[in-house]
Protein backbone atom coordinates (compact mmCIF):
# COMPACT_ATOMS: atom_id res chain seq x y z
CA UNK A 1 0.00 0.00 0.00
CA UNK A 2 1.28 3.43 -0.92
CA UNK A 3 0.34 6.36 1.31
CA UNK A 4 0.28 9.67 -0.47
CA UNK A 5 0.47 12.75 1.73
CA UNK A 6 -2.40 15.13 1.26
CA UNK A 7 -1.80 18.67 0.08
CA UNK A 8 -2.34 21.19 2.89
CA UNK A 9 -5.43 23.26 2.38
CA UNK A 10 -4.71 26.69 0.98
CA UNK A 11 -5.35 29.47 3.49
CA UNK A 12 -8.68 31.25 3.13
CA UNK A 13 -7.80 34.67 1.71
CA UNK A 14 -11.34 35.84 2.41
CA UNK A 15 -11.39 34.91 6.10
CA UNK A 16 -11.88 38.58 6.97
CA UNK A 17 -15.10 38.96 4.98
CA UNK A 18 -17.82 38.74 7.60
CA UNK A 19 -15.34 38.00 10.38
CA UNK A 20 -16.02 38.82 14.03
CA UNK A 21 -13.00 40.70 15.37
CA UNK A 22 -12.60 41.04 19.14
CA UNK A 23 -10.75 44.21 20.16
CA UNK A 24 -8.34 43.92 23.08
CA UNK A 25 -7.03 47.01 24.86
CA UNK A 26 -3.87 45.47 26.35
CA UNK A 27 -3.54 47.76 29.38
CA UNK A 28 -6.94 46.61 30.54
CA UNK A 29 -7.39 42.98 29.55
CA UNK A 30 -5.39 40.91 32.05
CA UNK A 31 -2.42 41.66 34.29
CA UNK A 32 -0.12 38.62 34.59
CA UNK A 33 2.70 40.09 36.70
CA UNK A 34 0.83 42.00 39.38
CA UNK A 35 1.75 45.57 38.45
CA UNK A 36 -1.84 46.75 37.90
CA UNK A 37 -1.47 46.98 34.11
CA UNK A 38 -2.46 44.36 31.54
CA UNK A 39 0.17 42.68 29.38
CA UNK A 40 0.75 40.18 26.57
CA UNK A 41 1.00 37.12 28.82
CA UNK A 42 -2.33 38.16 30.32
CA UNK A 43 -3.90 38.31 26.87
CA UNK A 44 -2.55 34.84 26.06
CA UNK A 45 -4.02 33.43 29.28
CA UNK A 46 -7.47 34.83 28.45
CA UNK A 47 -7.64 33.85 24.77
CA UNK A 48 -9.86 30.83 25.57
CA UNK A 49 -12.57 33.32 26.58
CA UNK A 50 -12.41 34.95 23.15
CA UNK A 51 -12.40 31.60 21.40
CA UNK A 52 -15.37 30.35 23.43
CA UNK A 53 -17.24 33.55 22.66
CA UNK A 54 -17.11 32.65 18.97
CA UNK A 55 -14.86 35.38 17.56
CA UNK A 56 -12.74 34.76 14.48
CA UNK A 57 -9.89 37.16 15.21
CA UNK A 58 -8.45 39.51 17.78
CA UNK A 59 -7.27 43.08 17.24
CA UNK A 60 -4.72 44.19 19.81
CA UNK A 61 -4.32 47.92 20.40
CA UNK A 62 -0.67 49.14 20.43
CA UNK A 63 1.83 47.39 22.68
CA UNK A 64 5.01 48.95 21.21
CA UNK A 65 7.52 50.96 23.26
CA UNK A 66 5.99 54.31 24.10
CA UNK A 67 6.18 57.10 26.68
CA UNK A 68 2.43 56.39 27.07
CA UNK A 69 1.34 60.00 26.80
CA UNK A 70 -1.43 58.68 24.55
CA UNK A 71 -1.24 55.15 25.96
CA UNK A 72 0.57 53.44 23.13
CA UNK A 73 -0.69 55.49 20.20
CA UNK A 74 2.56 57.46 20.54
CA UNK A 75 5.08 54.88 19.33
CA UNK A 76 8.79 55.29 20.05
CA UNK A 77 9.89 51.98 18.45
CA UNK A 78 7.80 50.17 15.84
CA UNK A 79 9.54 46.79 16.03
CA UNK A 80 9.71 46.05 19.74
CA UNK A 81 7.39 45.40 22.69
CA UNK A 82 7.17 47.87 25.55
CA UNK A 83 8.59 46.20 28.69
CA UNK A 84 5.33 47.13 30.40
CA UNK A 85 3.61 44.59 28.16
CA UNK A 86 6.37 41.97 27.92
CA UNK A 87 8.78 40.87 25.22
CA UNK A 88 8.83 39.78 21.60
CA UNK A 89 8.95 36.21 22.87
CA UNK A 90 5.73 36.85 24.77
CA UNK A 91 4.18 38.12 21.56
CA UNK A 92 5.35 35.04 19.66
CA UNK A 93 3.74 32.85 22.33
CA UNK A 94 0.52 34.85 22.02
CA UNK A 95 0.48 34.29 18.25
CA UNK A 96 1.05 30.56 18.72
CA UNK A 97 -1.74 30.18 21.27
CA UNK A 98 -4.18 32.25 19.21
CA UNK A 99 -3.51 30.14 16.14
CA UNK A 100 -3.87 26.96 18.19
CA UNK A 101 -7.33 28.18 19.19
CA UNK A 102 -8.23 29.08 15.60
CA UNK A 103 -8.00 32.84 16.15
CA UNK A 104 -6.41 35.24 13.68
CA UNK A 105 -4.27 38.03 15.15
CA UNK A 106 -4.45 41.64 13.94
CA UNK A 107 -2.32 44.38 15.47
CA UNK A 108 -2.72 48.15 15.50
CA UNK A 109 -0.35 50.12 13.29
CA UNK A 110 0.02 53.85 13.98
CA UNK A 111 1.67 55.22 10.85
CA UNK A 112 0.41 58.79 10.62
CA UNK A 113 2.56 59.93 13.54
CA UNK A 114 5.09 58.72 16.08
CA UNK A 115 6.18 59.75 19.55
CA UNK A 116 8.53 62.71 19.83
CA UNK A 117 10.82 60.21 21.59
CA UNK A 118 11.20 58.06 18.48
CA UNK A 119 14.77 57.98 17.20
CA UNK A 120 13.54 59.22 13.82
CA UNK A 121 12.12 62.40 15.32
CA UNK A 122 15.07 63.00 17.63
CA UNK A 123 17.32 63.00 14.56
CA UNK A 124 14.86 64.99 12.45
CA UNK A 125 14.59 67.84 14.95
CA UNK A 126 18.38 68.04 15.49
CA UNK A 127 18.96 70.20 12.41
CA UNK A 128 17.53 71.13 9.03
CA UNK A 129 20.18 69.17 7.12
CA UNK A 130 20.38 65.74 8.79
CA UNK A 131 19.41 62.55 6.85
CA UNK A 132 15.96 62.50 8.44
CA UNK A 133 15.35 66.26 8.35
CA UNK A 134 12.38 65.74 6.03
CA UNK A 135 10.88 62.69 7.75
CA UNK A 136 8.35 64.83 9.65
CA UNK A 137 6.20 67.78 8.64
CA UNK A 138 8.23 70.95 9.29
CA UNK A 139 7.37 74.49 8.22
CA UNK A 140 8.60 78.01 8.81
CA UNK A 141 6.60 80.48 10.86
CA UNK A 142 4.67 83.28 9.24
CA UNK A 143 6.51 86.62 9.28
CA UNK A 144 4.80 87.50 12.57
CA UNK A 145 5.94 84.25 14.19
CA UNK A 146 2.53 82.56 14.18
CA UNK A 147 1.96 79.01 12.86
CA UNK A 148 2.09 78.33 9.11
CA UNK A 149 -1.69 78.00 8.76
CA UNK A 150 -4.95 77.50 10.63
CA UNK A 151 -4.87 73.70 10.96
CA UNK A 152 -6.21 72.42 14.28
CA UNK A 153 -5.25 69.49 16.51
CA UNK A 154 -7.93 66.98 17.46
CA UNK A 155 -6.64 67.26 21.03
CA UNK A 156 -7.24 71.03 21.07
CA UNK A 157 -5.46 74.14 19.80
CA UNK A 158 -3.17 74.58 16.82
CA UNK A 159 -1.80 71.57 14.93
CA UNK A 160 1.61 73.25 14.94
CA UNK A 161 4.22 73.26 17.71
CA UNK A 162 7.32 75.46 17.78
CA UNK A 163 10.70 73.73 18.00
CA UNK A 164 13.51 76.06 19.13
CA UNK A 165 16.30 73.82 17.80
CA UNK A 166 15.20 73.95 14.17
CA UNK A 167 13.47 77.33 14.61
CA UNK A 168 10.48 75.82 12.80
CA UNK A 169 7.04 74.48 13.57
CA UNK A 170 6.23 70.79 13.29
CA UNK A 171 2.76 69.43 12.61
CA UNK A 172 0.83 67.26 15.07
CA UNK A 173 -2.76 66.21 14.43
CA UNK A 174 -2.95 64.89 17.98
CA UNK A 175 -0.79 65.65 21.05
CA UNK A 176 2.22 67.93 20.70
CA UNK A 177 4.26 64.83 21.61
CA UNK A 178 2.89 63.03 18.51
CA UNK A 179 4.59 64.67 15.50
CA UNK A 180 3.19 63.78 12.10
CA UNK A 181 5.35 61.70 9.78
CA UNK A 182 5.90 63.10 6.30
CA UNK A 183 4.66 60.36 3.99
CA UNK A 184 5.39 62.54 0.97
CA UNK A 185 8.97 61.36 1.56
CA UNK A 186 9.48 57.94 -0.12
CA UNK A 187 12.04 56.98 2.53
CA UNK A 188 9.38 57.31 5.22
CA UNK A 189 7.02 55.12 3.25
CA UNK A 190 9.76 52.52 2.77
CA UNK A 191 10.56 52.49 6.50
CA UNK A 192 6.89 52.00 7.39
CA UNK A 193 6.50 49.19 4.87
CA UNK A 194 9.62 47.48 6.20
CA UNK A 195 8.10 47.67 9.68
CA UNK A 196 4.92 46.09 8.30
CA UNK A 197 6.95 43.19 6.88
CA UNK A 198 8.64 42.74 10.27
CA UNK A 199 5.31 41.91 11.94
CA UNK A 200 4.05 39.83 9.02
CA UNK A 201 7.17 37.67 9.31
CA UNK A 202 6.34 37.16 13.00
CA UNK A 203 3.03 35.62 12.00
CA UNK A 204 0.37 38.31 12.33
CA UNK A 205 -2.68 37.83 10.15
CA UNK A 206 -3.49 41.46 9.56
CA UNK A 207 -3.61 45.00 10.80
CA UNK A 208 -5.92 47.70 12.03
CA UNK A 209 -4.60 50.99 10.67
CA UNK A 210 -5.06 53.92 13.03
CA UNK A 211 -6.25 57.25 11.56
CA UNK A 212 -5.73 55.99 8.02
CA UNK A 213 -6.98 59.17 6.35
CA UNK A 214 -4.44 61.34 8.23
CA UNK A 215 -1.36 59.98 6.44
CA UNK A 216 -0.86 62.87 4.03
CA UNK A 217 -1.13 66.66 4.26
CA UNK A 218 -1.36 69.30 1.57
CA UNK A 219 2.18 70.14 0.43
CA UNK A 220 1.22 73.78 -0.11
CA UNK A 221 -0.11 74.01 3.49
CA UNK A 222 -3.30 75.69 2.31
CA UNK A 223 -5.69 76.82 5.04
CA UNK A 224 -8.82 74.81 5.78
CA UNK A 225 -12.08 76.62 5.10
CA UNK A 226 -14.61 77.19 7.85
CA UNK A 227 -17.35 74.59 8.13
CA UNK A 228 -20.94 75.75 8.10
CA UNK A 229 -22.30 75.32 11.66
CA UNK A 230 -25.21 73.29 10.31
CA UNK A 231 -22.75 70.63 9.10
CA UNK A 232 -20.77 70.28 12.31
CA UNK A 233 -20.81 66.81 13.73
CA UNK A 234 -19.27 65.67 17.01
CA UNK A 235 -18.36 62.10 16.00
CA UNK A 236 -14.71 62.83 15.10
CA UNK A 237 -14.10 65.21 18.00
CA UNK A 238 -16.26 66.18 20.99
CA UNK A 239 -18.70 69.02 20.43
CA UNK A 240 -16.68 71.36 22.69
CA UNK A 241 -13.61 71.05 20.43
CA UNK A 242 -13.08 73.82 17.81
CA UNK A 243 -11.64 71.12 15.52
CA UNK A 244 -15.26 70.75 14.40
CA UNK A 245 -15.31 74.33 13.08
CA UNK A 246 -13.21 73.50 10.01
CA UNK A 247 -13.69 71.48 6.86
CA UNK A 248 -10.59 69.30 6.92
CA UNK A 249 -9.69 69.12 3.26
CA UNK A 250 -6.01 70.07 3.44
CA UNK A 251 -4.70 68.55 6.70
CA UNK A 252 -6.04 65.05 5.91
CA UNK A 253 -8.06 63.09 3.32
CA UNK A 254 -5.47 63.83 0.62
CA UNK A 255 -5.58 61.98 -2.73
CA UNK A 256 -1.91 60.97 -2.48
CA UNK A 257 -2.94 58.43 0.14
CA UNK A 258 -4.44 56.14 -2.50
CA UNK A 259 -1.05 55.38 -4.04
CA UNK A 260 0.49 54.66 -0.64
CA UNK A 261 -2.36 52.32 0.27
CA UNK A 262 -1.68 50.42 -2.95
CA UNK A 263 1.96 50.06 -1.91
CA UNK A 264 0.85 48.88 1.51
CA UNK A 265 -1.57 46.32 0.01
CA UNK A 266 1.20 45.00 -2.25
CA UNK A 267 3.26 44.24 0.86
CA UNK A 268 0.32 42.41 2.44
CA UNK A 269 -0.11 40.39 -0.73
CA UNK A 270 3.47 39.11 -0.40
CA UNK A 271 2.09 36.92 2.41
CA UNK A 272 -0.84 34.47 2.38
CA UNK A 273 -4.28 35.44 3.68
CA UNK A 274 -3.49 38.81 5.25
CA UNK A 275 -6.17 41.45 5.83
CA UNK A 276 -6.26 45.07 6.93
CA UNK A 277 -8.99 47.36 8.23
CA UNK A 278 -8.56 51.13 8.24
CA UNK A 279 -10.02 53.62 10.68
CA UNK A 280 -11.46 56.58 8.78
CA UNK A 281 -11.92 59.57 11.06
CA UNK A 282 -14.01 62.17 9.26
CA UNK A 283 -17.45 63.47 10.14
CA UNK A 284 -18.38 64.83 6.74
CA UNK A 285 -16.85 62.44 4.16
CA UNK A 286 -16.35 59.24 6.18
CA UNK A 287 -18.30 56.82 4.01
CA UNK A 288 -17.08 58.41 0.79
CA UNK A 289 -13.49 57.90 1.93
CA UNK A 290 -14.24 54.31 2.94
CA UNK A 291 -15.47 53.78 -0.61
CA UNK A 292 -12.27 55.21 -2.07
CA UNK A 293 -10.00 53.18 0.19
CA UNK A 294 -11.75 49.82 -0.30
CA UNK A 295 -12.44 49.96 -4.05
CA UNK A 296 -10.57 48.07 -6.72
CA UNK A 297 -9.22 45.21 -4.62
CA UNK A 298 -5.79 46.88 -4.44
CA UNK A 299 -6.03 48.97 -1.27
CA UNK A 300 -7.76 48.22 2.03
CA UNK A 301 -9.73 45.02 2.49
CA UNK A 302 -12.18 46.92 4.70
CA UNK A 303 -12.55 50.19 6.56
CA UNK A 304 -14.79 51.62 9.21
CA UNK A 305 -16.09 55.11 9.66
CA UNK A 306 -17.80 56.57 12.73
CA UNK A 307 -21.47 56.33 11.74
CA UNK A 308 -22.27 53.67 14.36
CA UNK A 309 -19.75 55.08 16.85
CA UNK A 310 -21.41 58.49 16.88
CA UNK A 311 -23.74 59.76 19.61
CA UNK A 312 -26.77 59.57 17.29
CA UNK A 313 -29.34 57.14 18.69
CA UNK A 314 -29.58 53.85 16.85
CA UNK A 315 -33.01 53.68 15.26
CA UNK A 316 -34.42 51.72 12.30
CA UNK A 317 -34.14 54.80 10.11
CA UNK A 318 -30.55 55.39 11.24
CA UNK A 319 -29.48 51.83 10.37
CA UNK A 320 -31.20 52.05 6.98
CA UNK A 321 -29.69 55.47 6.30
CA UNK A 322 -26.14 54.34 7.07
CA UNK A 323 -26.35 51.12 5.04
CA UNK A 324 -27.95 52.94 2.09
CA UNK A 325 -25.27 55.63 2.21
CA UNK A 326 -22.52 53.02 2.41
CA UNK A 327 -23.88 51.10 -0.58
CA UNK A 328 -23.95 54.30 -2.61
CA UNK A 329 -20.50 55.49 -1.51
CA UNK A 330 -18.72 52.13 -1.59
CA UNK A 331 -20.48 49.76 -4.02
CA UNK A 332 -17.29 47.69 -4.31
CA UNK A 333 -16.27 48.10 -0.69
CA UNK A 334 -16.60 46.15 2.52
CA UNK A 335 -17.26 47.75 5.87
CA UNK A 336 -16.25 46.78 9.37
CA UNK A 337 -18.90 47.91 11.84
CA UNK A 338 -18.58 48.54 15.56
CA UNK A 339 -20.84 50.06 18.20
CA UNK A 340 -18.07 50.58 20.78
CA UNK A 341 -14.29 50.87 20.93
CA UNK A 342 -11.52 52.39 23.07
CA UNK A 343 -12.27 55.95 21.89
CA UNK A 344 -16.02 56.36 22.43
CA UNK A 345 -18.56 56.05 25.23
CA UNK A 346 -19.70 52.43 25.51
CA UNK A 347 -22.91 52.00 23.58
CA UNK A 348 -24.75 50.50 26.57
CA UNK A 349 -24.51 54.01 28.02
CA UNK A 350 -24.27 56.12 24.87
CA UNK A 351 -27.63 54.89 23.60
CA UNK A 352 -29.10 53.07 26.59
CA UNK A 353 -28.60 55.37 29.57
CA UNK A 354 -32.34 55.97 30.01
CA UNK A 355 -33.53 52.46 29.14
CA UNK A 356 -35.01 50.43 31.96
CA UNK A 357 -34.30 46.91 30.71
CA UNK A 358 -30.80 47.60 29.47
CA UNK A 359 -29.81 43.93 29.22
CA UNK A 360 -32.64 43.24 26.78
CA UNK A 361 -31.68 46.36 24.87
CA UNK A 362 -27.99 45.47 24.45
CA UNK A 363 -28.90 41.90 23.46
CA UNK A 364 -31.06 43.31 20.67
CA UNK A 365 -28.29 45.71 19.63
CA UNK A 366 -25.81 42.83 19.47
CA UNK A 367 -28.09 40.99 17.06
CA UNK A 368 -28.43 44.12 14.92
CA UNK A 369 -24.65 44.52 14.81
CA UNK A 370 -24.03 40.86 14.00
CA UNK A 371 -26.46 40.88 11.09
CA UNK A 372 -25.13 43.98 9.31
CA UNK A 373 -23.52 43.56 5.93
CA UNK A 374 -19.83 43.71 6.69
CA UNK A 375 -17.37 42.44 9.25
CA UNK A 376 -17.85 43.44 12.87
CA UNK A 377 -15.75 44.43 15.85
CA UNK A 378 -16.66 43.61 19.43
CA UNK A 379 -14.89 45.68 22.07
CA UNK A 380 -13.78 43.87 25.21
CA UNK A 381 -16.48 43.97 27.90
CA UNK A 382 -19.22 44.67 25.39
CA UNK A 383 -20.20 41.01 25.65
CA UNK A 384 -20.83 41.58 29.37
CA UNK A 385 -23.07 44.58 28.81
CA UNK A 386 -20.57 46.90 30.49
CA UNK A 387 -21.57 50.53 30.79
CA UNK A 388 -19.36 53.60 30.66
CA UNK A 389 -17.46 53.96 33.94
CA UNK A 390 -17.72 57.27 35.76
CA UNK A 391 -14.10 58.21 36.47
CA UNK A 392 -13.30 60.98 38.94
CA UNK A 393 -11.06 63.77 37.68
CA UNK A 394 -8.36 62.75 40.18
CA UNK A 395 -8.22 59.28 38.57
CA UNK A 396 -8.19 60.43 34.94
CA UNK A 397 -5.33 59.24 32.75
CA UNK A 398 -6.53 60.33 29.31
CA UNK A 399 -4.99 63.67 28.20
CA UNK A 400 -8.01 64.27 25.99
CA UNK A 401 -10.35 64.18 28.98
CA UNK A 402 -8.05 66.28 31.14
CA UNK A 403 -7.94 68.92 28.38
CA UNK A 404 -11.71 69.26 27.98
CA UNK A 405 -12.99 68.35 31.47
CA UNK A 406 -15.79 68.51 32.57
CA UNK A 407 -17.71 69.06 29.31
CA UNK A 408 -15.91 66.05 27.84
CA UNK A 409 -14.65 63.44 30.29
CA UNK A 410 -12.33 61.69 27.89
CA UNK A 411 -11.97 58.03 27.00
CA UNK A 412 -11.03 56.46 30.33
CA UNK A 413 -14.64 55.49 31.05
CA UNK A 414 -14.52 52.86 28.28
CA UNK A 415 -10.96 51.72 29.05
CA UNK A 416 -11.34 50.39 32.59
CA UNK A 417 -10.00 46.87 33.25
CA UNK A 418 -11.88 43.78 32.10
CA UNK A 419 -13.82 41.98 34.81
CA UNK A 420 -13.30 38.22 35.08
CA UNK A 421 -14.18 37.01 38.59
CA UNK A 422 -16.89 38.74 40.60
CA UNK A 423 -15.46 37.40 43.88
CA UNK A 424 -11.77 38.18 43.31
CA UNK A 425 -9.69 41.26 44.03
CA UNK A 426 -10.11 43.72 41.15
CA UNK A 427 -12.46 41.22 39.52
CA UNK A 428 -9.53 38.91 38.75
CA UNK A 429 -7.80 41.47 36.53
CA UNK A 430 -4.79 42.07 38.80
CA UNK A 431 -3.33 41.13 42.19
CA UNK A 432 -1.83 44.59 42.67
CA UNK A 433 -3.36 46.81 45.34
CA UNK A 434 -4.25 49.40 42.69
CA UNK A 435 -5.16 49.08 39.01
CA UNK A 436 -4.16 51.71 36.44
CA UNK A 437 -7.82 52.76 36.22
CA UNK A 438 -10.37 51.97 38.93
CA UNK A 439 -12.93 49.21 38.38
CA UNK A 440 -16.52 50.24 39.16
CA UNK A 441 -18.44 47.95 41.50
CA UNK A 442 -21.23 47.69 38.93
CA UNK A 443 -18.71 46.23 36.47
CA UNK A 444 -17.41 43.72 39.01
CA UNK A 445 -20.97 42.44 39.46
CA UNK A 446 -21.13 41.78 35.71
CA UNK A 447 -17.90 39.76 35.57
CA UNK A 448 -17.51 36.74 33.31
CA UNK A 449 -17.86 34.39 36.30
CA UNK A 450 -21.22 35.94 37.21
CA UNK A 451 -22.64 35.48 33.71
CA UNK A 452 -21.01 32.32 32.38
CA UNK A 453 -23.57 29.53 32.10
CA UNK A 454 -26.55 31.77 32.91
CA UNK A 455 -28.81 31.47 29.84
CA UNK A 456 -30.39 34.85 30.55
CA UNK A 457 -27.07 36.73 30.72
CA UNK A 458 -25.72 39.12 28.11
CA UNK A 459 -22.57 36.99 27.79
CA UNK A 460 -24.47 33.80 26.98
CA UNK A 461 -26.64 35.67 24.49
CA UNK A 462 -23.51 36.90 22.69
CA UNK A 463 -22.15 33.36 22.57
CA UNK A 464 -25.49 31.98 21.43
CA UNK A 465 -25.96 34.54 18.68
CA UNK A 466 -22.41 34.25 17.39
CA UNK A 467 -22.95 30.49 17.07
CA UNK A 468 -26.24 31.16 15.28
CA UNK A 469 -24.46 33.55 12.92
CA UNK A 470 -21.89 30.90 12.01
CA UNK A 471 -24.69 28.48 11.12
CA UNK A 472 -26.08 30.92 8.54
CA UNK A 473 -23.43 32.22 6.11
CA UNK A 474 -25.91 34.75 4.75
CA UNK A 475 -25.61 36.69 8.02
CA UNK A 476 -21.83 36.94 7.71
CA UNK A 477 -21.07 37.19 4.01
CA UNK A 478 -24.38 37.88 2.28
CA UNK A 479 -25.81 40.86 0.50
CA UNK A 480 -28.34 43.02 2.31
CA UNK A 481 -31.75 44.15 1.12
CA UNK A 482 -33.44 46.72 3.32
CA UNK A 483 -37.18 46.28 3.63
CA UNK A 484 -39.76 48.89 4.44
CA UNK A 485 -39.54 49.72 8.13
CA UNK A 486 -42.22 51.48 10.15
CA UNK A 487 -41.87 53.10 13.54
CA UNK A 488 -39.77 50.93 15.80
CA UNK A 489 -39.40 48.06 13.32
CA UNK A 490 -36.19 47.39 11.41
CA UNK A 491 -36.42 44.76 8.68
CA UNK A 492 -33.98 43.44 6.10
CA UNK A 493 -32.98 40.30 4.26
CA UNK A 494 -29.48 38.82 4.03
CA UNK A 495 -28.82 36.76 0.90
CA UNK A 496 -25.93 34.39 0.18
CA UNK A 497 -26.05 31.59 -2.39
CA UNK A 498 -29.41 29.84 -1.99
CA UNK A 499 -29.97 31.12 1.55
CA UNK A 500 -32.20 34.11 2.30
CA UNK A 501 -32.56 35.08 5.97
CA UNK A 502 -35.17 37.55 7.15
CA UNK A 503 -34.19 39.75 10.12
CA UNK A 504 -36.82 41.73 12.02
CA UNK A 505 -36.09 43.88 15.08
CA UNK A 506 -38.33 45.77 17.46
CA UNK A 507 -36.20 48.69 18.60
CA UNK A 508 -38.65 49.96 21.21
CA UNK A 509 -39.59 49.27 24.86
CA UNK A 510 -43.14 48.27 23.86
CA UNK A 511 -44.32 45.17 21.96
CA UNK A 512 -44.80 45.50 18.20
CA UNK A 513 -45.96 43.37 15.31
CA UNK A 514 -44.72 43.03 11.76
CA UNK A 515 -45.83 41.40 8.54
CA UNK A 516 -43.10 39.43 6.74
CA UNK A 517 -42.64 39.63 2.96
CA UNK A 518 -44.84 37.30 0.99
CA UNK A 519 -43.70 33.75 0.59
CA UNK A 520 -43.02 30.68 2.68
CA UNK A 521 -40.70 31.21 5.63
CA UNK A 522 -39.14 28.71 8.00
CA UNK A 523 -38.86 30.18 11.49
CA UNK A 524 -35.28 29.88 12.75
CA UNK A 525 -34.37 28.92 16.30
CA UNK A 526 -31.23 28.97 18.39
CA UNK A 527 -30.68 32.71 18.43
CA UNK A 528 -32.05 33.37 21.91
CA UNK A 529 -35.02 35.60 21.03
CA UNK A 530 -38.66 34.73 21.62
CA UNK A 531 -41.46 35.89 19.34
CA UNK A 532 -44.85 34.57 18.30
CA UNK A 533 -46.22 34.04 14.81
CA UNK A 534 -50.00 34.34 14.48
CA UNK A 535 -51.26 33.91 10.96
CA UNK A 536 -49.26 36.35 8.85
CA UNK A 537 -48.15 38.50 11.78
CA UNK A 538 -45.00 38.38 13.83
CA UNK A 539 -45.51 39.56 17.39
CA UNK A 540 -42.30 40.80 18.95
CA UNK A 541 -41.79 41.74 22.61
CA UNK A 542 -39.95 44.91 23.63
CA UNK A 543 -36.40 44.87 22.22
CA UNK A 544 -37.31 41.66 20.39
CA UNK A 545 -36.00 40.03 17.24
CA UNK A 546 -37.23 37.45 14.75
CA UNK A 547 -35.34 35.39 12.16
CA UNK A 548 -36.64 33.17 9.39
CA UNK A 549 -35.28 31.50 6.28
CA UNK A 550 -37.11 31.40 2.97
CA UNK A 551 -38.37 27.87 2.57
Q: Which H helix or E strand runs over 105? A: strand 104-109
Q: Are the beta carbons of 57 and 49 closer than 8 angstroms?
A: no
CA atoms within 13 A on the CB side of 129: 0
- The C-alpha atoms of residue 100 and residue 97 are separated, in whole angstroms, by 5
Question: CA 79, CA 118: separation in Å to the nearest integer?
Answer: 12
Main-chain phi, psi angles of 70, to 5 degrees: -125, 30
SS3 471: helix
Residue 547 phi/psi, 5-degree rounding, is -135, 135
Residues marked as catalytic? 210, 270
- Closest Cα partner for 426 from 415, 442, 438, 412? 438
**Separation between Cα atoms, residue 10 and residue 148, nearest integer Å:** 53
Q: Is the Cα torsion angle 461, 430, 435, 422 positive or negative in sign? A: positive
> What span, in angstroms and rounded, lies between the C-alpha atoms of 502 and 549?
6
Tell me the chain's radius of gyration from C-alpha atoms: 24
Smallest CA-to-CA distance from 281 within 117, 73, 79 is with 73
| Three-state SS letters, 150-215 | CCECCCCCECEEEECCCCEEEECCCCCCCCEECCCCHHHHHHHHHHHHHHHHCCCCEEEECCHHHC
As a whole number of angstroms, the distance between CA 452 and CA 462 comes to: 11
Give CA–CA dist 310/228, Å, rounded: 19
Q: Strand 521-523 vs strand 375-379: parallel, antiparallel, or unpaired?
A: unpaired
Question: Is residue 474 exposed (0-12), middle (13-18) or buried (19+ Cβ within 10 Å)?
Answer: buried
Q: Per DSSP, what are the bridge partners of residue 65? A: none
Whether residue 176 has a cis bond before it, omega within 30° of 0: no
**CA-to-CA distance for 101 and 93, rounded, in angstroms?**
12
CA angle 47, 460, 440 (to 5 degrees): 75
Amino acid sequence: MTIIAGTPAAPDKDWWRGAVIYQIYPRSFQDSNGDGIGDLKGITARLPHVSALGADAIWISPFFPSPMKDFGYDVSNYTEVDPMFGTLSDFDALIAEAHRLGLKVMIDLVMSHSSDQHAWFIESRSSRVNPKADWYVWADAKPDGTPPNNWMSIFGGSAWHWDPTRMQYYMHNFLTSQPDLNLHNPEVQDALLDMTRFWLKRGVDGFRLDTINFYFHDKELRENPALDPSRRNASTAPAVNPYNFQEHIYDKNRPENLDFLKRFRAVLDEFPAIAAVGEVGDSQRGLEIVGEYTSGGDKMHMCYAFEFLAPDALTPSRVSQVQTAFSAAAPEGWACWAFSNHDVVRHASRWGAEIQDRDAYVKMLAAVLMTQRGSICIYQGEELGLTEADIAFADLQDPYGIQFWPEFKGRDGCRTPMVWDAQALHAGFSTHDRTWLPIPIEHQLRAVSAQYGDPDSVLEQYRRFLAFRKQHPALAKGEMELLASEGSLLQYERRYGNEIVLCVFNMAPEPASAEPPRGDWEVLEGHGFQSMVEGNRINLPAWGAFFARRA
